[in-house]
Amino acid sequence: MNKKYCFNGSRMQARLLVGLSVVVVLALLFIAYGIKDCEQKDLLVNVASKGTKYTHLPYNVTRDSRFDFRKEMEKLNKERVKADDPRLVNLIRNYYIEPPSDKPYKLLEPGRRDASYGQAMFVDGTLRNMASGFFVDSGAHDGEIQSNTLFFERIRGWTGILIEPQPQIYKQLKDKHRKSFTLNACVSVVPYPSTVKFLPTSFYGKMVENLTSEAEWKKKGFKEITVQCFPLYSILLAMNQLTVDYFSLDVEGAEEGIVNNIPLDKVKIRAISIEYDKVEGGADRLRKIMESKGFKFLVKMDSIAAHDCIFYR
């Protein structure tokens, strides 16, 4: 064999190897950049604006501006209608639930990936990074501070419903331009619609439990307000959505009454986090209650401002 040919062949092979190595390195850099770029977009870009909205939520609104829906709501409250009464469901759908914002987010910390105290990350792992799910956030506050659901909306492309009873806090929630439905009401602790006295006592506020506690708060200068409450089942029927992938429940003491009035034979809840420190009997009693309903206890999470138990079903 010609030595010159062998030499040229070896040199050509070397050049090919070098060229191939360069291509591989450039490809890896491109992939890495693409991943980083996608993560940044997930954090900073409105997920819901990337395509058609909420195709899995057949949410249809028919509103009549001449209809006195508040008067009709008073009537249904007095009648204590069932949670699945069509009149109630239609009222909630057409006159109480508000649609997601189509404006850019207006957050205090737009670069923060998770505003919760670890609940969102734990549930995300439990659900194996599930995309396009549905959540219920009861006690949503302003939609950002300590939010257990903002991560799922922005990063995983979920939607859901944010429920907040305090009118002033609800206005702050609306100003965040969340990409989920919103409801200025509370979740009922009874299986029918009703109004309750509500004291915006602090960062969160709470239902008035009895005349003694009401008098104590009034002495401190707090003024009660009247809030409309709906059973969770009614709200979900109004959304045409009876599967909840994650339910965040933080209502300053009304948690037990709410979970006891969810018809779990009709509503499917996968993961639920419940604030336990204001439940009588604490985490141990809450665990027994939830296990009796078929939920599996996963973890108790404690932080400066959050004391939750997380369950899965």
Residues 213-229 have pLDDT tens digits of 566 666 767 678 899 99
The pair of structure tokens assigned to 122 is 């734990």
Q: Give residue 64's pLDDT band: very low, low, confident or very high (50, 70, 90).
A: very high
Pick the more confident residue, 258 or 303. 258
pLDDT of residue 49: 35
pLDDT of residue 92: 97
Residue 203: which residues within 8 A CB-CB, separation 6 or more?
141
CATH number of 45-312: 3.40.50.150
Q: Give residue 304's pLDDT band: very low, low, confident or very high (50, 70, 90).
A: confident
pLDDT of residue 7: 43
What percentage of residues in the chain have a pLDDT greater than 70?
74
> Are 192 and 225 a contacting pair, CB within 8 Å?
no
Is pLDDT of 252 > 90? no
Q: Which amino acid is at 86?
A: P
Q: Give residue 53's pLDDT band: very low, low, confident or very high (50, 70, 90).
A: low
Is pLDDT of 50 > 90? no
Average pLDDT, the chain: 83
> Quick check: helix, strand or coil at residue 177?
coil
Pick the more confident residue, 214 or 189. 189
**Hey, what's the torsion of the CAs at 226, 203, 112, 47, to 10 degrees?**
0
Lookup result for tokens 């439905």: 181
Q: What's the mean pLDDT in 188-207?
A: 75
pLDDT of residue 215: 65
What percentage of residues in the chain have a pLDDT greater than 90?
66
Residue 134 phi/psi, 5-degree rounding, is -135, 130
Is pLDDT of 1 > 80? no
Q: What's the mean pLDDT in 278-289?
A: 93
What are the distances in angstroms from CA 78 to CA 193, 199, 245?
Answer: 9, 22, 33
Residue 304: is it exposed, middle or buried by C-beta count within 10 angstroms (0-12/13-18/19+)?
exposed
pLDDT of residue 136: 98
The pair of structure tokens assigned to 255 is 């948690």
